[in-house]
Structure 1
């Protein structure tokens, strides 16, 4: 049911939104499309209440003045299973034509009702002080007539804290990052066996990003250009972790790895 909800959301959103021009404002604009993706954690499902995003822009025609532009999440059902947004799947939050300038920041706007599911059992995910806005930095020059895809990456692994294991008590402090695909490349591949729920880490220096596989074993990273080491943690002691080093990411290109199979211990 959760997966079908995501598919319906994507279809509905792309059917609903269209590029619209404002006839009484002939000034040049850029189109900004905002998507939600997930750096997943080891939970079956995490449902968040999504309200939209807020962009912070220094408009080219406003002499350095900072402006805030809200892009709402338009669907009536605001509950989104972000743990399904892996292996290249993303959820369109919204789109808007924006006057030219520099995009300097973005805030993810959430509601106050969030849940985590492990198996069939659900747990409340309270946010400290009932915060609803979560910022990330981004730097992007908007140029006339260009469509920009902006991704908001919600890192569930770092966002969810376990205070007590029995009974399970949790806290939710959303940690996000934002990036544009214009200057990035991708790493993709397939892991076996597909019955596992491994975590894959892309490591560069002291920084790392994580992701998981979908039902067919596929994973995908969107990364800045550079050289990375991938560490594959099977999260199952019957199998041994493995590493791939020296993987090059180039701007605008996809690096596809040969199928990776975990060895048994």
Structure 2
């Protein structure tokens, strides 16, 4: 039989456990949660396809190698050339505690990458980075109840490297060149190129540096340059059809959160 005194002790013990659990729950609820979304897009390249296999995406709030957290595991191949002209794919999204996250990295498979040249698919080898990942400094500020969208510009034209025939392993290497930006502090430029059969590459240039590029759509000439920081740019239209001349439009302004619509840009016949 349980004595009255023992009952008293049990009641006190249960109350203490309840208060401790409540304290733990309250401390957890004090930490605000925000959302991180990672999008990938691409600059154009002179290939039929550039296929990259992404195993997972990780993020780190620390300054050293500790603290990496997996935010997604796509385990999927992406054709980068399908992610131009404003198109993108979502590599992952997750809920994180509010705070600053310094780095993000893509873990690529050692194999499974390829480039298609003149209709022929050729494998690409990753010389390094499969184990340690492609690290990017982002300093992402995650705020409570707000979605932070990170744009990863995977530059296919600079990432695919052709090896010489005299080397031990001739063929193609994948050496990723990626630029990261916060969509919340960027803007866009769009327009239409005429005539359509000029089939141009469109560049956004600032201080002689090309910061974004895309192909104009081959059916209607539309183009969109995304992920540009606020400032002034030269938009250069470079036809792949030699019957037309290059045309530059200077002092094109970009404002955060807006798209500067250039309208129709008419190209002239080459002299």
Q: Structure 1: state its 5+ residue gaps.
A: 1-22
State the Cα deviation string for residues 216-263 of structure 1 (Å, max 9, x = none). 422222200000011111123222111010000011111011212332
Determine if contact 2:108/2:129 at 8 Å carries over to the other structure. Answer: no
Q: 1:1-265, aligned counterparts within 5 Å?
A: 25-26=28-29, 27-58=31-62, 67-74=67-74, 78-111=76-109, 112-129=111-128, 131=130, 133-164=133-164, 169-209=171-211, 210-215=213-218, 216-221=220-225, 222-265=227-270
- TM-score normalized by structure 2? 0.78
CA gap 1:224/1:256 in 2 versus in 1, 3 angstroms: same
Q: Secondary structure at the match of 2:241?
A: coil
RMSD over aligned CA atoms reads: 2.6
Q: Structure 2: state its 5+ residue gaps.
A: 1-24
Q: Secondary structure at the match of 2:232?
A: strand
Aligned residues: 236
Deviation at 1:130, TM superposition (A): 6.5
State the Cα deviation string for residues 111-146 of structure 1 (Å, max 9, x = none). 121111134211111122463521222123211110
Determine if contact 2:49/2:116 at 8 Å carries over to the other structure. Answer: yes
Give the Cα–Cα distance (whole angstroms) in 2 for the partners of residues 129 and 46 of structure 1: 18
Give the Cα–Cα distance (whole angstroms) in 2 for the partners of residues 245 and 261 of structure 1: 15
State the Cα deviation string for residues 190-232 of structure 1 (Å, max 9, x = none). 2233345422221111421222233442222220000001111
Greater CA drift, 189-198 or 199-208: 189-198
Q: Runs in 1 of length 4+ with deviation above 6 angstroms?
A: none
Q: Secondary structure at the match of 2:81?
A: helix
Larger radius of gyration: 2
